[in-house]
Amino acid sequence: MSVFQRLRSLPIGDILHRGLLYSLVGISGWGLYTMGAVHLDILKRGRGALAAHEAQNLSESEVRIISDYLY
């Protein structure tokens, strides 16, 4: 029995229910993937901002050390 023959024997409500169910499962899977991708992007941007902040603080402290040494 082919897929189309089986679908022809099912009531329309069952077919609509299956379609809705598969759509919701797909949307949930897409949401989980997107949530993970956004989370990883936020972590990556945070690491970059922290590195820039630490580099700025390091350069300011180096300037203070050199200024203290010269004067």
DSSP string, 8-48: HHS-HHHHHHHHHHHHHHHHHHHHHHHHHHHHHHHHHHHHH
**Domain range spanning residue 36?**
3-70
Instruction: State pLDDT tens for residues 4-30.
Output: 777 678 788 888 999 999 999 999 999
Alpha-carbon torsion 30, 32, 35, 41, what sign?
A: negative
Given a cut of 70, whether residue 60 has pLDDT beyond it is no
What's the CA angle centered on 69, arms 53 and 67, to 5 degrees?
45
**CA–CA dist 5, 42 (Å, integer):** 49
> Residue 71 has what pLDDT?
55
Instruction: State pLDDT tens for residues 32-50.
Output: 999 999 999 999 999 988 8
30 or 52, which is more confident?
Answer: 30
The domain total for the chain is 1
